[in-house]
Amino acid sequence: MTAAIEIKSVEKRFGNVSIIRDLNLSVAQGERHAIIGPNGAGKSTTFNLISGYIKPSEGEIRLNGEAISGLRPFEINRRGLSRSFQVTNVFAKMSVWENVRCAVLWASGHRYAFWKNVDHLPEVRQRTAQILEDIHLSHRRDVPAGLLTYAEQRELEIGITIAGGANVIMLDEPTAGMSHAETERAVALIRRLTEGRTLVIVEHDMSVVFGLADRISVLVYGHIIASGTPEEIRGNLKVREAYLGEEAH
Amino acid sequence: MNTAATNAPEVLKEQRGVLRFYGIWLIAALALIVLPLVFSSGGSLTSFSLIGIAIIFALSYNILLGQTGLLSFGHAVHYGLGGFLAVHAMNAVAAHDLPIPLPFIPLVGGIGGLAFAILVGWVMTKRAGTVFAMISLGIGELVASSSLILRSVFGGESGITTDRTALPHMFGWSFGPQIQVYYLIAFWVMISAIAMYALTRTPLGRICNAVRDNPERVEFIGYDPHVVRYLAYGFAGFFAGIAGGLAAINFEIANSAYLGATQSGLVLFAAFIGGIAYFFGPILGAILVTYLQLGLTNITTVWQLYFGIIFIGIVMFAPGGIAGLLMMHRPLIRARSLAMVIPSYLVAALPTLALALGVILSIETVARYTASQGEGNVINLVGIAFDATKPATWAVAAVLVVGGFLIARITWRRVAEAWDRAATVARDRGYLV
């Protein structure tokens, strides 16, 4: 079976500085894969490379076997990959309902249609309502997204990401800045909503990482130093030295 | 779950919404029909016709600014080219006896506006923000100056004239009398407004809003913001062209003033003053700006100055425009706390009016005294004659400005306090987020 995401010797340079060096990563279909690493290791850059936000200087990225390096974000999204952002990135003036509905439209095949009434698309309406219920924001559907609380915005961020039904979901620090209770709720949400899909997640909270991930990759200075099951990573000396060791002290 | 229970009132609510929705359009159509019967003087017919054209033009502009977040300084290009194409079409129809009656001519204008939007739009909409604004300014200047050079197409400074009555008549209407032209314009105002409103309710319309709010994120939900902006630009060009075509019919001429920077500025002005965040905002703006334009030019030589002051005032104190100011009160009306702010408004109105009169008197005094002495020095303000050369007039102006401002500032603070109290009530009652 082809890997959901396959990254082969990818390099990203900004000027003379290599942010990502010889990056190799393989995420199997249906796997929950966490990327961890110290601040500035290049986790978000890796996300940006995969999702097309920036282009790799060298190397190849494949999504479900198809080369996607160099494609624009919307082209990659249409091929079934959807990502969230570390800093909340919603449509601030539009209502919660509109936010989610916009994310549903392309995947429902309505594209740039200007001859259909958007309120008269039953499947779009049902899917939007379903997602709002899933992310517990049904009661806030008419509130402009910019006026939501922080935790609600994070949930909306996840909602927008999964709304299109992409089979590869990438979440960039979905629980950052959340309280313990909010984090627990968010993890349960992520687990449920990504059922049967491939998940790549960047996360700082180790309890989230070890509770959620099937496999973990450790990124240090733009290079993956280890990749394996949570147990393997826990027992890996290099990882303990470079990363987990610091946390343990 | 209790879906059945929650659905029933929701459906009812929706039906009420639908009823109210069609009700508004029906009332608008009736108003357009009845208006010239109530105000039947030639002057008001001309005004109504100009307002109708301005409404379509301002709404088309808001497809860009309010819906898609594109600030254009050259929207009149599509209006003007639509007007020129309409004039040429009318002359061609008349010359070759083609069976195309006048009411279809605005469509030709629309096609002209659309064609040019298709031509230049792809490059223009590559980027939003400052880049788009600058390119639109450049294109605007380019076309406006070309119009003076390409005489055969644009007729140079005098423009190209036409005769609207030379086209085939429809329902026995020659479209010579202004009332018939008015109804033609009113018809297209209804069609265009409904079409532009419908556009906001389509998948494309919604994605335009998303591009306005956050073009970066739009790319990650499958849409190319460039394509979205291009399509929006095409629609805006099309409806601007319809407005231009109607202007050509109304004035029976198209000239370079149609597509110049002044025209582009006026439509930005109208849309912004009206309020770009609401669909009906530009309609209010178009009405106000047209009336100001018609009214002020008759009574003062420095009417542009007043435009400028109004514009600055709106940008600084009411960035939501008139529509924004009106809609601010909706939660208060629903929460029945509007009565808490009304008295403070009434108190504030008097010193604010004094301030405004003082400013007007100062401006007029300076204008009469320095620039245009030939016009006579008597200023008629609220029925009182002021002599611009008398120091007493200057003193009155100074007292009104300074005194009005000092007192008005206190009353404005009262308004803010009253507003806070009313908003708190509305928030407590759940009508305000």
- Residue B425 pLDDT > 70, yes or no? yes
Cβ of residue A214 closer than 8 Å to a chain B Cβ: no
Burial of B46 (0-12, 13-18, 19+ CB in 10 A): middle
Q: What one-letter code names the amino acid at B106?
A: P
A92 with B213: Cβ contact below 8 A: yes
- Residue B123 pLDDT > 80, yes or no? yes
- Residue B132 pLDDT > 90, yes or no? yes
List own/partner pairs for B120-125 with CB under 8 A and 24 or more apart: B121/B230, B121/B233, B121/B234, B121/B237, B122/B230, B124/B233, B125/B70, B125/B226, B125/B229, B125/B230, B125/B232, B125/B233
What is chain B's mean pLDDT, rounded? 92
> Which residues fall within 8 angstroms of residue A180, CB to CB, at 6 or more apart?
none
Question: Could you tell me the pLDDT band of residue B5, with boundaries at 50, 70 and 90?
Answer: very low
Cβ of residue A225 closer than 8 Å to a chain B Cβ: no
Picking from A40-44, B1-5, B10-14, B93-97, which range would have the lowest pLDDT averaged per residue?
A: B1-5
Cβ of residue A94 closer than 8 Å to a chain B Cβ: yes
Residues of B at the A interface (Cβ-Cβ below 8 Å)?
198-199, 201-207, 209-210, 212-214, 216-224, 227-228, 231, 235, 277, 433
Picking from A234-243, B46-55, B272-281, which range would have the lowest pLDDT averaged per residue?
A: A234-243
C-alpha distance from residue B287 to each of A56, B57, B190, B241, B282 (Å): 53, 11, 15, 19, 8
> What is the CB neighbour count within 10 angstroms for residue B413?
12
Measure the CA–CA gap between B418 and B342, rounded to whole angstroms.
9
Question: Which residues on neighbouring strands pair with residue B381, listed in sequence order?
Answer: B384
For chain B, the residue count is 433
List own/partner pairs for B383-390 with CB under 8 A and 24 or more apart: B386/B361, B388/B364
Q: What is the pLDDT of residue B3?
A: 43
Q: What one-letter code names the amino acid at B188?
A: W
* pLDDT, mean of residues B313-330: 94
- Gap between the terminal Cα atoms of chain B: 28
Rounded to 10 degrees, what is the CA torsion of A81, A84, A89, A91? 50
Which chain B residue's Cα is nearest to A140? Answer: B433
Measure the CA–CA gap between B303 and B296, rounded to whole angstroms.
6
- Gap between the terminal Cα atoms of chain A: 41
Measure the CA–CA gap between B206 and B387, rounded to whole angstroms.
56
Question: Which residues on neighbouring strands pair with residue A61, listed in sequence order?
Answer: A7
User: How many percent of chain A have pLDDT more than 90?
Assistant: 86
What is the crossing angle of helices B261-274 and B281-299, to 10°? 120
Report whether B229 contacts B70 (CB < 8 A).
yes
What is chain A's mean pLDDT, rounded? 93
The three-class DSSP label of residue B382 is: coil
Q: What is the pLDDT of residue B2?
A: 42
Question: Could you tell me the pLDDT band of residue A248, with boundaries at 50, 70 and 90?
Answer: very low
pLDDT digits (tens, 9 = 90+) for B163-212: 999 999 888 899 999 999 999 999 999 999 999 999 999 999 999 999 99
- Residue B287 pLDDT > 70, yes or no? yes
Q: Which of B173, B172, B186 is nearest to B37 (CA)?
A: B186
All domains of chain A in start order, with CATH: 5-248 (3.40.50.300)
Q: What one-letter code names the amino acid at B10?
A: E
Report whether B266 contacts B74 (CB < 8 A).
no
All domains of chain B in start order, with CATH: 12-318 (1.10.3470), 330-428 (no CATH)
pLDDT digits (tens, 9 = 90+) for A82-136: 999 999 899 999 999 999 999 999 999 999 999 999 999 999 999 999 999 999 9
**Is this complex's ipTM strictly greater than 0.90?**
yes
* pLDDT, mean of residues A146-153: 94
Which H or E run contains A12? strand A5-14
Nearest Cβ partner for B221 among A77, A114, A119: A77
B324 alpha-carbon distance from chain centroid: 14
Q: Output DSSP code: residue A200.
A: E
Q: Output DSSP code: residue B336.
A: T
Annotate B224-290 with three-state secondary structure. Answer: CHHHHHHHHHHHHHHHHHHHHHHHHHHHCEECHHHHCHHHHHHHHHHHHHHCCCCCCHHHHHHHHHH
Please indicate whether residue B135 or residue B379 has the higher confidence score (pLDDT): B135
Cβ of residue A110 closer than 8 Å to a chain B Cβ: yes
Q: What is the pLDDT of residue B418?
A: 95
User: To 5 degrees, how large is the angle CA A150–CA A151–CA A153?
Assistant: 65
Which H or E run contains B353? helix B342-366
Report whether A151 contacts A178 (CB < 8 A).
yes
pLDDT digits (tens, 9 = 90+) for A2-25: 999 999 999 999 999 999 999 999
As a 3-state breakdown, chain A gives helix, strand, coil percent values, each rounded to 5, of 40, 25, 35
Report whether A158 contacts A127 (CB < 8 A).
no
B235 with A106: Cβ contact below 8 A: no
Q: Please report residues of A whose CB lies closer than 8 A to that of B18.
A: none
Measure the CA–CA gap between B262 and B16, rounded to whole angstroms.
43
Q: Which of A25, A29, A23, A24 is nearest to A3 (CA)?
A: A29
Measure the CA–CA gap between B244 and B185, rounded to whole angstroms.
11
Cβ of residue A128 closer than 8 Å to a chain B Cβ: no
Nearest Cβ partner for B207 among A78, A105, A161: A105
Which chain B residue's Cα is nearest to A103? Answer: B221
Q: Please report residues of A whose CB lies closer than 8 A to that of B222.
A: 74, 77-78, 105-107, 164
Measure the CA–CA gap between A46 and A35, rounded to whole angstroms.
9
Which chain A residue's Cα is nearest to B3? Answer: A129
Cβ of residue A144 closer than 8 Å to a chain B Cβ: yes
Report whether A64 contacts A151 (CB < 8 A).
no
Q: Which of A48, A74, A89 is best to mutate for the B interface (most B CBs within 10 A)?
A: A74
Main-chain phi, psi angles of A81, to 5 degrees: -125, 130
Q: What one-letter code names the amino acid at B197?
A: Y
DSSP calls for B152-174:
HHH-TTT-EE--GGGSPPBTTB-
C-alpha distance from residue A181 to each of A115, A185, B404 (Å): 45, 6, 56
Q: Which of A115, A118, A87 is nearest to A102 (CA)?
A: A118
Conformational region of residue A144, where left means phi above 0, alpha means psi within -120 to 50, and beta covers everything else: beta
Which H or E run contains A51? helix A43-51
